Amino acid sequence: MTKVRAALTQTVDVMQGRSASLDDVHAANLAHHLGLIAQAKKAGVKIICLGELFSAPYFALEKNKKWLALAEDARTGPTVRLMRDIAKRFKMVIVAPIFELDGKKRYNTAVVIDSSGRVLGKYRKMHIPCGSNEQGEFAETFYYGRGDKKPYFPVFKTSVGTIGVAICYDRHFEGVVKRLAENGARLIFSPAVTFGAKSRRMWDMEFLVDACRHRVYIGGSNRLGSEKPWGQKYFGASYFAGPDGEKLKNLSRNPKLVIADVDLGALEKKDPSGWDLDRDSRPKVFSAR
């Protein structure tokens, strides 16, 4: 498939701090995202990436053991079971970033589900932030660890093309997009929950530079709005970056959805700049870590 209509979600926890069980929080956010997936389907979308930890608020703004109970199995848990059914019904590839429980270990994981409903595999976030900025704290190491199984940066051959995933903090690290591109990814998704002045400035540059440098498409998604009880604001600004350093046109009228047409066939054409970065690179000096 050459041209693919792709989508990202950019939304926040629909419960907004209302008193409820964790099961209710989970169910409400799943229902909310099902509505967005259905809208994407009507718009002709063939592949969609949901937001980082989409079925819950961004709980890493605090250290609270209660949120640990949200973690679930990446194959048999309720989120993946539901997303498999939806992917098959809508004939849509779904990238579902969940809070994963594997034995006693927890991970920030993106599960890739093909349009047949089959789970193609998963990517576990490799770089886990722990710090704070002028707006708030992100204590992710309290909740989950880094991916610990090879290949660390897998790619997935879906019905619409070969894709890769780099979750949030991963996007800042040298070599991540390079490795995914070398492994065959042509469309890379980067679901994120991010805030702060420096993050906002870099957001409009990082994906564009990496997409151009490695001749891939990158879809970067961020939450849009704020979540109670913390009141942390997320700037949204989700977009698709193209291989010539351009932002793709957003075809959606819903602010919670970003939709773009991705021309994977264009990646086979000669770079219009005349650059040949693969040929002219010096791997002994600039090798990926």
| 52 noted as active-site residue | yes
Catalytic residue among 72, 100, 140, 168: 168
Catalytic residue among 46, 49, 52, 140: 52
| 150 noted as active-site residue | no
Q: What is the pLDDT along the chain (289 residues), one digit of tens a residue?
A: 689 999 999 999 999 988 889 999 999 999 999 999 999 999 999 999 999 999 999 999 999 999 999 999 999 999 999 999 999 999 999 999 999 999 999 999 999 999 999 999 999 999 999 999 999 999 999 999 999 989 999 999 999 999 999 999 999 999 999 999 999 999 999 999 999 999 999 999 999 999 999 999 999 999 999 999 999 999 999 999 999 999 999 999 999 999 999 999 999 998 999 998 888 886 655 554 4
Catalytic residue among 49, 72, 100, 125: 125
pTM of the model: 0.96
Amino acid at 38: A
| 125 noted as active-site residue | yes
Domain 3-264, architecture per CATH: 4-Layer Sandwich (3.60)
Distance in angstroms (rounded) separating the CA atoms of residues 286 and 168: 23
Distance in angstroms (rounded) separating the CA atoms of residues 278 and 281: 5
**80-113 exposure pattern, b = at least 16 Cβ within 10 A, e = fewer:** bebbbebbbebebbbbbbbbbbbeeebbbbbbbb
